[in-house]
Amino acid sequence: MKFSYLAHEHLVRCLVHRSCIAQLSAEYYSPSNAGRGFESGEENTMSKTVGVTLGAAGLYMGLVIGLMVFCRMRRARKKARLLAEATAEAKSENGTLPNDTEMNPIVTKPLKDGSTTRSDNEAPSHSSGSHYSKKSRSSYDKAHFPRQELQTMMLLGHGDYGEVFLAKAKGIVDPDTEIIVMVKALQTRDENAHFEFKREMDMLNKLRHENITKLYGICRETEPFLFITEYSDWGDLKQFLLATRRDNTRKGPKPPPLNVPQILGVCHQIASGMEYLANQRFTHKDLATRNCLVTSRLNIKISFPSLSRDTYADEYFLYRNRTLPLRWAPAEAILEDEWSTKSDVWSFAVVACELFTQAELPFSEHSNETVLRLLNSSELRWKPPAGAPSALCSLLLTCWSISARDRPTFTDVVHKLGQVTVDSHL
């Protein structure tokens, strides 16, 4: 009996245990709970994916912002380095050039009595007496000229740097003499323009040649920077050539057209000046009659006004954010930005054509876009001007060689022009 009771109790316990397990299993695997474990895993995976994506996006934005800050700082350092060379030596007892001031208009204003005054936003500058008495510490110090001694006469036009104007300068050659000068102002924040402005200023400060315009003075004590150069009594060569045309309607005396010997003489002077420039390892980049000055004695001075914004805007072309003398430059200069003495040789040949055609626009029958296309395809064909001696025609054709290596040097040009000049008098 005892055994039967124990067996019965054991059987009851087993049934109760199985019933509990079945109830728990039914509860766990009920339809409402089906897939709950899988959903939890998918939610974890999605959360991780979103987190990784947001993290990557945040990292990318951080890199972009960091790169922008770096580029801005690099630009600022580059600009500071370019300006430092032009301003470091200008420090004196009267102060230094402010770095963050806005570009101001030309500050010299003529008064009724012929004197000049400064605008309110101009910083004090050296007086005329102190200018001549102080010892210079550099070539730029020697070229310093007080801007209050400049009396603006007329605006010639605007270039890539800013205004170009004529002014009277008293004491720039000697203390008692007043002469007319050409002044270029730096009125832009563009870094490339600052670099080119300084390059021109350095070049003119070092050059000494009878056929290159002289640098008379520099104003750097406050913005805008000014550099003052020689000017001529007959102005630029292009305007002179235009005045010799029969259809010229301008009032005043009309000079007669240049004859062949005179043209060859002008070509020889320009080539001599460019030879000197090349020997000093400088490139002009914009040689044209508009950038040459002429005196009443037909003396030529190579200059650098480059009035590309208004006066001679039609002779320039905006290409890849660069204002270029499209019709005066070879393909490697326009398309590849490779300027050299050999590109100046090409431009010289175009200047010779201007002299024979009385400043006619090269390829006037073509638009700028067509000229660019012909340059790009090496299909632009130059022809020597009518009336030019045969020896000069041969020289010009070599100057227009497509390959820069095939073009002559300016020393060769000067030598061959000398022979043409002798032949023209026989």
- 193 in Cβ contact with 347 (< 8 Å): no
Residue identified by tokens 């350095």 is 202
- 219 in Cβ contact with 146 (< 8 Å): yes
User: How would you class 342 by CB atoms within 10 Å of its CB: exposed for 0-12, middle for 13-18, buried for 19 or more?
Assistant: buried
Residue 71 CB partners (closer than 8 Å, separation 6+): none
**Residue 128 CB coordination number (10 Å):** 15
Of 286, 314, 344, 412, the catalytic one is: 286
What one-character DSSP code corresponds to residue 410? H
Output the CA–CA distances (angstroms, integers) from residue 257 to 130, 184, 246, 268, 357, in the order listed. 48, 31, 9, 18, 10
- 255 in Cβ contact with 294 (< 8 Å): no
120 in active site: no
User: How would you class 20 by CB atoms within 10 Å of its CB: exposed for 0-12, middle for 13-18, buried for 19 or more?
Assistant: exposed
Q: Are strands 322-324 and 317-319 parallel, antiparallel or unpaired?
A: antiparallel
Supply φ then ψ for residue 234, to 5 degrees: -105, 5
Active site (catalytic) residues? 286
